[in-house]
Amino acid sequence: MRNTKEKILTATEQLIYKKGYTGTSINDILDETGTGKGQFYYYFGSKKEASLAVIDNHVKIWQKHLLNGILSRDESPLANLKEMLDWIYSDHAQKKIYYGCPVGNLVIELSALDEDFRKPLEQLFSDLQKKIAENLSALTGLLVKQNLPAAHAIIAQIQGSLLLLKVTQDLNALESNFDLLKTSFEKVGEK
Amino acid sequence: MRNTKEKILTATEQLIYKKGYTGTSINDILDETGTGKGQFYYYFGSKKEASLAVIDNHVKIWQKHLLNGILSRDESPLANLKEMLDWIYSDHAQKKIYYGCPVGNLVIELSALDEDFRKPLEQLFSDLQKKIAENLSALTGLLVKQNLPAAHAIIAQIQGSLLLLKVTQDLNALESNFDLLKTSFEKVGEK
Amino acid sequence: MRNTKEKILTATEQLIYKKGYTGTSINDILDETGTGKGQFYYYFGSKKEASLAVIDNHVKIWQKHLLNGILSRDESPLANLKEMLDWIYSDHAQKKIYYGCPVGNLVIELSALDEDFRKPLEQLFSDLQKKIAENLSALTGLLVKQNLPAAHAIIAQIQGSLLLLKVTQDLNALESNFDLLKTSFEKVGEK
Amino acid sequence: MRNTKEKILTATEQLIYKKGYTGTSINDILDETGTGKGQFYYYFGSKKEASLAVIDNHVKIWQKHLLNGILSRDESPLANLKEMLDWIYSDHAQKKIYYGCPVGNLVIELSALDEDFRKPLEQLFSDLQKKIAENLSALTGLLVKQNLPAAHAIIAQIQGSLLLLKVTQDLNALESNFDLLKTSFEKVGEK
DNA sequence: TATGAATGAGTGTTCATTCAT
DNA sequence: CATGAATGAACACTCATTCAT
């Protein structure tokens, strides 16, 4: 059986993803895990602490799979960037209800409310931006620094697409948007 | 007095914008308006109803200024699209803290939770998409229908930019992103 | 058009009958009458006052139709007592939902809560008891005073039957019970 | 502690008996028990749920003492029926204020409002009716089915007597009424 | 490690009543 | 006579957190 702490963390993550931070209660989490209430406060000092751990978990996943994985491969930068979109897309494609981006959701719900939440989220986007810019540099020959705005725009496009997915519940629109992004990657590469 | 209802609505709008729907309590609103608790329920049947009125208000503002205003002008479509970005930008530029897009925020917090919230928000984005596509048609000569994906991408770019503004609190990045969008409008027009 | 005061009184009576005193709100009443809130407090000093007026109304109806009507007729006392049951029965027979006795309901909800409610209700039952005892005297030849316990039992039987009607929603049981009562009247007369 | 739940249930029962369901607030109950508000909702999902538990408690008491107790004894049916009245009488005799029948009160306040309340109350009266009819059968030789109307009348008499006790606050009248009932039992047995 | 009873401030909502017009 | 805006206490219910076992 999996670790109790991990079980709680997983349940917290899923519930926050679906119902938001404020919409998720400790009891919701414990109903999901089947553990007693004391266990939650034994492993996490508070709801906020557990939620920060959820964010930390997202950071680690993105770092492992995206920053240090896909975007650090020795493949062509074009392939990397496209693969990034495919990785994100496949994460949503299998779902019946589209809840948007787990990280983007937290940004909107929490970053204006509490600096402790905002900071790690900002750092994650900042790291991703730099990594994308690196790939763009390999593609364009420009300095990483000069590609930062373009990388920012790419992240914005991804986040905006997932936001629209959440409100339209239309997966095709997400695919079409990512296809446009891929085309734009190719154009950048051609120059 | 007609004024009280509007005062409540305004306070509700501002508080939801800053603290989110779930994060805003009726007492928060009443503290802001200085009215008794009964007044809230005299004018609105519930918190949800008042919040739907807030959404409705956003819809009307966008329709008046953006859909029927800026994007329906007899000016060149390129000017219209650029002006749209300027209008949005100016809305945020004056603030000290950047709370992102009031409509996008609601999408993320509420659209997976309650269909009654999701529907009007989806409709608003759908109307905007069509209007942007019309301007793109005037620019490209293509049918409106063929420009819908591009319009979708533009909205995604705007929403994503405002989401990143919320987490980075960096207005320059927003400006830079909107500049990139404007450049892309021009390129589309050139073809 | 009927008097506003009377309209309010009628609505109050019906709503209290169906939903009880505590279950009926001033707004419920005004929704029913279509009048403004000020009108209620113009005609009645409080909810309690209006409800006492409702009780008073019931008292007057019973006095007119039952005490000074049916039970004071020059007919045979047996016919009077039977007619009393028929009058009560016909009041319920036409309904789709059986709410029990409007007076008995108030007894149970209010008489332990407030002496101001209890007193007029007790008086009404006391007057009825005496009147029934008078009819029994004409039937048995005994003094009125000696028939008071029997009269009390008759009222208890009526009230208990209507209470059971409310919980069983079975009109036939009420009819059957009243038939048994009529038979007992006849037996008393035979002796 | 198991005790807390029972304390809350007891307080709920007593308060509803004295002040009615709608007249009893959760805070009333907690003031009585001295526990925090969360405890009420820890043990009961809602006020309604706690009240249904109160009803269930009454059902069990009647079943144990009356249906499976007094009315199921191997004594003579006459003795059983008389003992039933004595059992009910003794329940009220010791009180200073007479609040009527705890079950009958709930019938009148709640059975027209909510089916969930009405059903168990109806069932209880139905079970009692059958049990009384069984005793009457032993007394009269008639089939149980034929004695159901008479049993219904007996329950009506009891309930009506307790209703009148509530409004008159006259214990003697209750005793006198029950004496009349006992006499009628004897007459039935003689035939 | 683990349970779940206990707390109390807080949430959305209702309501009788008052009062300016 | 009549309207309906305004008040604030009370109501049922939720929740993050604590703590004894």
Protein residue closest via CA to C1' of E5: D1
DSSP A44: -
Q: Say how far apart CA B168 and CA B90 lie, in whole Å.
A: 18
Residue B39 CB lies within 7 Å of the nucleic strand F: yes
Q: Say how far apart CA C92 and CA C100 lie, in whole Å.
A: 8
Residue B35 CB lies within 7 Å of the nucleic strand F: yes
Q: What is the tens place of the pLDDT at every residue in B16-66?
A: 999 999 999 999 999 999 999 999 999 999 999 999 999 999 999 999 999
Q: What is the mean pLDDT of residues A131-149?
A: 96
B128 Cβ partners below 8 Å, 6+ apart?
A: B62, B66, B67, B151, B155
Residue-by-residue DSSP string for A95-118: -SS----HHHHHHHHHTTT-HHHH
List of chains touching C (3+ CB pairs within 8 A)? D
Using alpha carbons, select from C55, C48, C41 the residue that is nearest to residue C4. Answer: C41
**pLDDT of res. A1:** 43
Mean of the per-residue pLDDT values for chain B? Answer: 96
Tokens of A161: 């697409």
In the predicted model, residues of chain D with pLDDT beneath 50 are: 1
Q: What is the mean pLDDT of residues B162-175?
A: 98
Q: Which amino acid is at C176?
A: S
Give ∠ CA A131-A137-A139 in degrees, rounded to 5.
110
Tokens of A59: 């950071």
Q: Is the pTM of this model over 0.85?
A: yes
Q: What is the tens place of the pLDDT at every residue in B107-148?
A: 999 999 999 999 999 999 999 999 999 999 999 999 999 999
User: Which of A108, A152, A164 is closest, CB to CB, to B109?
Assistant: A108
Residue with tokens 């789709």: C96
Nearest-by-CA chain B residue for A119? B167
CA of A47 to C1' of F17 (A): 10
Confidence of residue B191 (pLDDT cuts 50, 70, 90): low
Partners of B48 on chain A (C-beta within 8 Å) are none
**pLDDT of res. B45:** 96
pLDDT of residue C1 exceeding 60, the answer is no
Mean of the per-residue pLDDT values for chain D? Answer: 96
Alpha carbon dihedral D116, D122, D124, D126, in 10-degree steps, equals -150
Distance from the first to the final alpha carbon of chain C: 54
Q: What is the mean pLDDT of residues C40-53?
A: 97
Residue C137 CB lies within 7 Å of the nucleic strand E: no
Instruction: Please count the other Cβ atoms lying within 10 Å of the Cβ belonging to residue C10.
Output: 17
Using alpha carbons only, how large is chain D's radius of gyration in Å? 18
Q: What is the tens place of the pLDDT at every residue in A147-161?
A: 999 999 999 999 999
Residue-by-residue DSSP string for D102-171: HHHHHHHHHTTT-HHHHHHHHHHHHHHHHHHHHHHHHHH-S-HHHHHHHHHHHHHHHHHHHHHHHHH--H
Residue C27 CB lies within 7 Å of the nucleic strand E: yes
Using alpha carbons, select from A77, A71, A63 the residue that is nearest to residue A137. Answer: A77
Q: Hey, is the C-beta of B182 within 8 angstroms of any chain A C-beta?
A: no
Q: What is the tens place of the pLDDT at every residue in C54-85?
A: 999 999 999 999 999 999 999 899 999 999 99
Q: Say how far apart CA C130 and CA C136 lie, in whole Å.
A: 10
Residue with tokens 């407030």: C114
Verify whether the Cβ–Cβ distance C158 to D153 is below 8 Å.
no
Protein residue closest via CA to C1' of F17: A46
Verify whether the Cβ–Cβ distance D163 to C160 is below 8 Å.
yes
Mean of the per-residue pLDDT values for chain A? Answer: 96
Residue with tokens 């739907």: B52
**pLDDT of res. D189:** 78
Interface of B with A in 32-91 (CB under 8 A): none
Tokens of B179: 């500049």
pLDDT of residue B165 exceeding 80, the answer is yes
Tokens of A21: 């931070």
Residue D118 CB lies within 7 Å of the nucleic strand F: no
C-alpha distance from A68 to closest chain B C-alpha (Å) = 22
Verify whether the Cβ–Cβ distance A156 to B177 is below 8 Å.
yes
pLDDT of residue B183 exceeding 70, the answer is yes
Give ∠ CA B156-B161-B167 in degrees, rounded to 5.
130
